[in-house]
Structure 1
């Protein structure tokens, strides 16, 4: 059985960029490749065009950096 996720907890690359203080959402892809401990998207569709992360995972990661 798949885990249940509250859709309000999902953030797209623009929201991730905002949380991290990045100027552009494309920088999130750079972070995915640069930092091995960067949270993986919980939803990835269409060859990486649509990615969603758990807000808590991003804020926790940012807090450790």
Structure 2
């Protein structure tokens, strides 16, 4: 791993999440609106259903 990669990992482990990006649109962490929050606590892509497996076994 390069020195730059090690520094990025160290920042992440200290709680710096600024290098994270959205897996759908590529926006910086916390700046997207393509995710929705379910009442169960999980996040899911807007326009789709929550994929929490517990939804299949409980009536939420």
TM over 0.5: no
TM-score category (smaller protein): under 0.3
Greater C-alpha Rg: 2
Q: Which has the higher strand share?
A: 1
In the superposition, the TM-score normalised over structure 1's length comes to 0.23
Bigger relative contact order (CA 8 A; separation at least 6): 1
